[in-house]
Structure formats: structure tokens, C-alpha cells
Amino acid sequence: MKLYVCYGTWKPAPRPGGHPCGNAYQALKDAGHDPEVIRTYGLGMLPDIFNQTAGRQEVKRLTGNTWVPVLVTEDGAVVQGSREIADWARTHPAEAAPASGGTASAGG
């Protein structure tokens, strides 16, 4: 799972309501996910000529634009936008890790 962000995951957020990249990251963490965070740098609202980093170009290839955050799930689904990523995280919580402390054996 990859989460494309601007410059970071911004906690605490530098603006009211939180930063979209930080909000998306926190929603994924709260749902038990540990995404690979890819910093894309640049600024989505600028013309493409100013968003030539490898990360922004990959986001454009995936979505048709350079806006982040963008989530790419393990199965290759692409989710763009902090609210959409938070909604996805709520409906797709990470599976609980198997309990440690021994292995179960069948037929005893």
C-alpha cells in the first residue's frame, strides 16, 4: 500500500481542519494500516510545468492530475482525496494480526 503525499504527513496540521495528507495518513493508521509514504513535493494547484518530480508524475499517471493525497491499495485500486481515503480506510480496516505465542496445529 502506497500513500502519495505532498511534503509529509503533517501532525499537528499547519491549518484548521488538518492537512489533507496528514488526515489521510492518520485515517489509514487508525484503521490499522501502515502505508509506504511517498513524498511527491511540488504543489498540486500549480501548472504541471512546476510539478515535474517523479512522485507528482506518478500521481498524474495514476489519476490524470497532480493532486495528493493518493492511495494505491495492495490490489492496485487508486483512491484520491483525503475524505475518500478516510472513507476507504473506515470500510477496509486492516486484518488483525494473528495472535503470537505458538502455532495452532490441526488434528491433535
pLDDT digits (tens, 9 = 90+) for 14-28: 677 889 999 999 999
What count of residues does the chain have? 108
| pLDDT score at 14 | 64
The model's pTM: 0.84
- Three-state secondary structure call for residue 52: coil
CATH code for the domain of 63: 3.40.30.10
Q: Could you give the number of structural domains in the chain?
A: 1
Give residue 19's domain range.
2-91
Would residue 10 be called left, alpha or beta, if left means φ above 0 and alpha means ψ between -120 and 50 degrees? Answer: left
Whether the pLDDT of residue 104 is over 90: the answer is no
Distance of CA 42 to the CA centre of its chain: 17
Q: Is 21 part of a structural domain of the chain? A: yes
